[in-house]
A and B are shown apart, each in its own frame.
Chain A
Amino acid sequence: MLFLALRNLLRRRLRSGLTALGVAIGTAAFLVIVTTVDGLLLEAQEGVDALGTDISLVQAGATVPWLSHLSPADLDRIALLPGVSVATPVVVGLTRLDARSRFIVFGVAPDSQLMRRAEIVDGRPPASGNEIVIGAFAAGRLGLVPGDRVELMRRELDVVGIYRTGRALLDAGAIVDIPLAQALFNLGDRVSLVFLDLRDPANAAALLETIATEMPELDAAASDVFTDSIQRIGMVRQYGRQMAVLAFLIAALGVCNTLAMNLSERTREIAILRAIGWRRWRIAATVVMETLLLVAIGVALSLPLSELTLAALNGQDSLGFVPSDVPSAALPGGVVLAAVTGFLLSLIPLVHSLRVRTAVALRS
């Protein structure tokens, strides 16, 4: 059966190739979207983890940190929370340095613990005034070195250093002093979020409850779930998954159409096999095997295609969110989706081959 299925596929090489390519593109689209979205969320999560904080606080309802505004009054109340050893205010703003790149600017006090956790690999940390340090990823992409000047929000800033945290989210951005960040993003005396370091991290859960009860105007989260609050991670992931499945289904419909055309042209062939004594199930198994082979080839092709696409996206990615390759965790989803779709697609030839009326097909 395998031999005959292969021969059938090879008889129309172009059509078979395009069909497999359709499966490959659909699967690759799924993998790339899932990988990109997951990569974005993972980098955001790990970026926060890299700061080493226990609890993060943003304005209630803010979907992204640059839309969160905390007033000095909020900061005063936060400072009075029990068990807090350090409260670090941070300004987060999203901007762009050139036409195609956008990156996050962090406003952090130069003497803060957060700033100390960023390794300065060239130059020095920013002092007050118009000084900025650039993340290693962004500096490499934009060709910036200490001593350069950059224009940010129509303001000339001196690049005084390059830092590295090891997290793409942070290394794709820049850090300035808080007052400068507030001025750049017109925040007045407000900040975007506050990171809390606790004397005893084991008390995080109790403190979260206190904040939820007493400070409903704030969203607080342990840093390991911080991204849930800043990016509505579940929603983003779900949206990404839906888009990925949609992209896959669009490709699958094209494949489905080709398979249906293929079969209608082969009705007589199926009838001939029946006439010479082939049982229905054997014919059905052969045509189903053809479909599954096409899907398998498509899935195999989808992996290098995904890698190529990710590499291309990675080259254009100014925030460093796009992983350079498909993580192994994303593969099962893609393969399962392709397998299920392959099974569903194979139902078309299966039903068709079972329904062929031998005598009618031979007469036509």
Chain B
Amino acid sequence: MAKHLLRFGALGYLAVLLLAPVVMVTYRTFEHGLAPVLSALSSPEAQHAIYLSILVTAIVVPINVVFGLLAGVAIARGRMPAGRTVNLLVTLPFAMSPVVIGFALFALYGRGGWIGDWLALHGLQVLFSVPGLVLATAFVSLPFVVREVVPVLEEVGTDHEQAAATLGAGPAYTFWRITLPALRWALAYGVVLTAARALGEFGAVSIVSGNIVGRTQTLPLLVEERFRNFDGTGAYSAGFVLALISLFVVVAMTLLSRRKEHP
């Protein structure tokens, strides 16, 4: 009896908290049929927002994969003098509010900022442009790959790498043939999480982007603008696309975590 109550309670809570909003978005999106949705999504600003979100994600994911691998190996294999500190530092983006991250980048790269003034001297613009969006997105999604890679590296240990060394393999060969294959599912998991976060990022991006329609407006920024302008169908349609991506991510993660447990 108690078990059933617990199960029912947990499911009910999840339904109200998670499922109902998603269902609501879907309902509102298609309330007036498919035509308004298609026209809302095919407008030039919507098309550009989708394109920009995908572009930023496509740049950020490889950057964070490479950084995450390097940092992960350095932390787990103890080749970094302050490994623990670095580990904490890498987790910082999780703990910080994205808006604060946005402000921090704004201050650093904007007028009067340490890097911003130097960049301005050389005619480079980071804020209100794609580099700024990439920077903010890379910052907030930094921990995902590292945090997937480190525990796997610690679990598999160094025996395989040492075995490869005794068989004549150099460090680079060992990394490609032994370490990387061991990390493939962790890495795929990290990529999916990073991509999801990058596509959905709002807080930090909203500060550094300037929200210039058709130039620096990403999909989440578009949703927010349409919502403010009482464009119900427009906001819901764009929101639906984001929710659809999230659903895809959840499915991918479920499949990947199965592979992770049974490699």
The answer to whether A and B come from one shared complex is: no
Give A contacts to B, CB under 8 Å. Answer: none
